[in-house]
Amino acid sequence: MDKTYDPHAIEQHWYSTWEDRGYFAPKGTGRPYCIMIPPPNVTGTLHMGHAFQDTLMDALIRHHRMRGDDTLWQAGTDHAGIATQMIVERQLNQQGVTRHELGREEFLNRVWQWKHESGGNITRQLRRMGASLDWSRERFTMDAGLSQAVTEVFVRLHDEGLIYRGKRLVNWDPVLHTAISDLEVVSEEEQGHLWHLRYPLSDGSGHLIVATTRPETMLGDAAVAVHPADARYVELVGKTVELPLTGRHIPIVADEYVDPEFGTGCVKITPAHDFNDYAVGQRHDLPLINIFTPDAQLNDEAPQAYRGLDRYEARKRVVADLQAQGLVERIDDHKLMVPRGDRSGAVIEPYLTDQWYVKVEPLAKPAVQAVKDGRIRFIPENWDKTYFDWMNKIEDWCISRQLWWGHRIPAWYDEAGNIYVAHSEEAAREKYGLAADLALRQDEDVLDTWFSSALWPFSTLGWPENTEEVKRYYPTSVLVTGFDIIFFWVARMIMFGLKFMDDVPFHEVYVHGLVRDAEGQKMSKSKGNVLDPIDLIDGITLDELLAKRTRGLMQPQKAKQIEKATRRDFPDGIQAFGTDALRFTFAALASTGRDVRFDLARIEGYRNFCNKLWNAARYVLMNTEGEDTGRDEQAPVELSLADRWIISRLQRVEAEVAGHFRGYRFDLLARALYDFTWHTYCDWYLELAKTVLTDEAASEESKRGTRRTLVRVLETLLRLLHPIMPYITEEIWQSVAPLAGCDGETILLQAYPEADEARIDPAAEQEMEWVQSFILGVRRIRAEMDIAPGKPLPVLLDGHGEEDRSRCEANRRFLDGLARLEKIEYLADGQSAPEAATALVGEMRVLIPLAGLIDKDAELERLGREISKLETNLERCRAKLANANFVERAPAAVVEQERERVTDMEGSLARLHEQRTRIGAL
């Protein structure tokens, strides 16, 4: 092994080796274990959410593969209808061509060309993360097999009356000219206004005042609503008001939707331009008056004066005209949530259009029951409540999109507008008995990408054909996903799986949190706080990071603010941490909470952990290569207390890790492995083993036993760590495995360790706990008294029993070596002890006489300096916390950190005063 751990020297080598040798493919033996990757967008690049999620899935897959299961991690990508079409359209625009000039067929050819040339970026980045997907089975939602599955599902659902075409409100992107899903709408608080407008009563007896944030939509008002219990307006219900600027008269209706405490308690109702108003309109049979074109300009339903105006220009004109007529009561500044399309950045319009819908309620009932009866289990369990809440309020699903890239809807129209749904035009003619010369045109729309991804668990396995893969791997084992798409994806997979496969698509749903920055803020380009996983793996300079974070901002004015924050947080850029450190960080952060706060300090700590493991392995190899490690089970060995103890502790950590894998507690799993590796194996066992290997009096059997234990525990530890840290464990294992007597080409296919209860040795653990307490007590005294680490210390034992004497004599090698002892003497009963520093080991006192060990005056002077320095720092921190400006304006985390510093310094000060008193009494 190289002297220094260098992840770049090993990672890509091992990944290409694993992939080239087909190690990721299912082996066909053992029980099936299958995970479907949530298909990333073909346009995408790896972000922190992907990297986090794929680390957890890969850990599960590697764990089950090593357990001997027939393991399939299905690879694939989503065609990302809107995002992909936008990319190719931008390319065309740079060439001075529009997609309409090209025509649909040629445009789609260009999209496929882009996909083949540039669509593999995210899969290459997944490989960098060590994701052991079966790439030989990679699927794409637009490939021929999945397209066939999509068409089959659409036709069947339509034939059963579960898909229909209807005119309803949708989220409309006026730039992209398509309906979009709720998940593609980003609502953020923005500064706006609240206009209070006067609507005159038709009978001339007065007026009502309504408040609106969108005065231009009043041109499409169908009513004014008040709460039925609002005494101010009860006598007006049923009367009408004159809608300003339009000449129309609209009714006053009573509806419980109205909040009588908001504004004046009167609300304008515009059913064609607001989702809540649409529901009110349905209840009161109000007309749907659509005043916008697909470009969000005013159409011919608006008065002549406003037709053809952009919605915001129309707003200015409407307000000016209302003011001219004295109908504006007042205008208030008002913060409001503005919905924008996540791709275009345009403000989204609730828009009335003809779209295709899935009638969801009949599909939802069995999907709810599958979770209630335990066929599907959410982990953590509290997410089933979120699932039930969404499913019980479910509305029909808009599945059509006004795009060219995607699964084109298999519906044809004749000139009379009749609809024919079938697998193809030829099939439609045959199915409906249509004449060969009847002109038909196919629906221009495509299906929402969530429609094809809802089939993912079975379409990827070859359905609608009854393939061997479908029969073996469906239902899949577990779905790993973020909570934000439980409804958009998880629920729909459950509904379609039960409908078309007559079984659930997966048995468990592990729901993880969303990765945020160290302050808990959502990572977004507009905030300039995005971290790129590849930058954490490879490193990036400050200049490159600044360029990446400020390039292509939708709000360029934020560039200076982003630059300032980046220079503050990453003055030297980001160092290269390697994949294993990043993966271990993700595992350690995978708690049951909703948020995953990613702090660079954590990954730096786990990069040190990689170094610790590497250096420990080098130490083991230096002490075992070329030596007899007892690979032959018949070779006589003698196991020391330390050997028996580490073997016993290993069994316990193996059992603990198994439990954490079953419970999806990756954070506890990482902690258990970290503590065992760093503290138990490296800090303790390697030092204990060193005393055996360097002891000239130790027998060859004893040394052989320690060498065997060193390599076997290390080899087992590498297998335990492999699912989380695949690269470093493979590299080390290649050197350690021969010494441990292991066969095989790769750690990836070795058996995952399982605890052997027969090898748990409580007596050895108890005795080693005594040894550790003894050593730690001496080390504490040495540190407190500032005694040089290498200076041998005399020890007196007081209050000892026969067991203590026996343990002391049996473990002198460990005590002398790790505590650096000069001699051990025993105080007889009644014998007075000299002035000494004391540590307790059970009931026994470990005494280190201080006379002659320390220079009393020099030590008192040193303690005085430390106390003075600490008191100065403490006073400074207390003054900062006493400053109201600091407490109120500083981030809460900074204030809390300052309070913790005060608490720590107060404790340290108390200990120093106690120590000065004790030394002063000598």
List, for residues 89-106, the tens digit of each pLDDT value: 989 999 999 999 999 999
pLDDT confidence of residue 317: 97
Torsion angles phi and psi, residue 351, rounded to 5 = -135, 140
| Dihedral Cα 89, 91, 95, 99, nearest 10 deg | -20
What are the tens digits of pLDDT across the range 325-383?
Answer: 999 999 999 998 999 988 788 899 999 999 999 999 999 999 999 999 999 999 999 99
Q: Assess whether pLDDT exceeds 90 at residue 467.
A: yes
CA 700: distance to chain centroid? 52
Torsion angles phi and psi, residue 136, rounded to 5 = -65, -20
Q: Assess whether pLDDT exceeds 90 at residue 582.
A: yes
pLDDT confidence of residue 922: 63
| Dihedral Cα 230, 231, 235, 240, nearest 10 deg | -40
Q: Assess whether pLDDT exceeds 90 at residue 880.
A: no
Least confident of 130-134, 486-490, 852-856: 852-856
Residue listed under structure tokens 């007559």 = 502
The mean pLDDT value for 772-776 works out to 96
What are the tens digits of pLDDT across the range 734-744?
Answer: 999 999 999 99
pLDDT confidence of residue 745: 96
850: its two tokens: 């201080």
- Which secondary structure element, helix H or strand E, spans residue 612, and what is its range? helix 600-624
Higher pLDDT, residue 559 or 648: 648
Using CA atoms, how far apart are residues 911 and 469, in angstroms rounded to an integer? 67
338: its two tokens: 């503005």
Least confident of 673-677, 727-731, 779-783, 805-809: 779-783
pLDDT confidence of residue 855: 67
Residue listed under structure tokens 């219900």 = 237
What are the tens digits of pLDDT across the range 610-626?
Answer: 999 999 999 999 999 88
pLDDT confidence of residue 207: 94
- Which secondary structure element, helix H or strand E, spans residue 187, and what is its range? strand 185-200
Q: Are 65 and 72 in contact (CB under 8 A)?
A: no
What are the tens digits of pLDDT across the range 395-422?
Answer: 999 999 999 999 999 999 999 999 999 9
Using CA atoms, how far apart are residues 863 and 476, in angstroms rounded to an integer? 65
Q: Assess whether pLDDT exceeds 90 at residue 837.
A: no
Q: Are 122 and 44 in contact (CB under 8 A)?
A: yes
Q: Which residues lie across from 10 on neighbouring strands? A: none
Least confident of 77-81, 201-205, 344-348, 666-670: 344-348
Residue listed under structure tokens 């407008």 = 197
Using CA atoms, how far apart are residues 515 and 281, in angstroms rounded to an integer? 41
Q: Strand, coil or helix: what is 393?
A: coil
What are the tens digits of pLDDT across the range 223-273?
Answer: 999 999 999 999 999 999 999 999 999 999 999 999 998 888 999 999 999
139: its two tokens: 């699927």
Task: State the burial class of residue 878 (Cβ atoms within 10 Å of its Cβ: 0-12, 13-18, 19+).
Answer: middle
pLDDT confidence of residue 628: 80
Instruction: Grade residue 863 by pLDDT with cuts at 50, 70 and 90.
Output: confident
Higher pLDDT, residue 808 or 922: 808
Using CA atoms, how far apart are residues 393 and 387, in angstroms rounded to an integer? 10
Q: Assess whether pLDDT exceeds 90 at residue 134.
A: yes
573: left (phi over 0), alpha (psi -120 to 50) or beta: left
Nearest to 296 by CA among 341, 230, 238: 341
Using CA atoms, how far apart are residues 773 and 807, in angstroms rounded to an integer? 12
**Cis ω before 475 (30° cut-off from 0):** yes
Which residues does 112 contact at the CB level (< 8 Å), separation at least 6? none
Q: Assess whether pLDDT exceeds 80 at residue 914.
A: no
Nearest to 457 by CA among 492, 410, 433, 412: 492
Instruction: Grade residue 776 by pLDDT with cuts at 50, 70 and 90.
Output: very high
Distances (CA, A) of 462 to 36, 128, 138: 13, 28, 12
Three-state SS across 688-713? HHHHHHCCCCCCHHHHHHHHHHHHHH
Q: What percentage of the chain carries pLDDT values higher than 70?
A: 99
Neighbour count for residue 261 (Cβ, 10 Å): 8
**Running DSSP on this structure, what letter comes out for residue 161?**
T
Q: Are 672 and 656 in contact (CB under 8 A)?
A: yes
Torsion angles phi and psi, residue 892, rounded to 5 = -55, -40
What are the tens digits of pLDDT across the range 294-335?
Answer: 999 999 999 999 999 999 999 999 999 999 999 999 999 999
Instruction: Grade residue 56 by pLDDT with cuts at 50, 70 and 90.
Output: very high
Using CA atoms, how far apart are residues 656 and 230, in angstroms rounded to an integer? 62
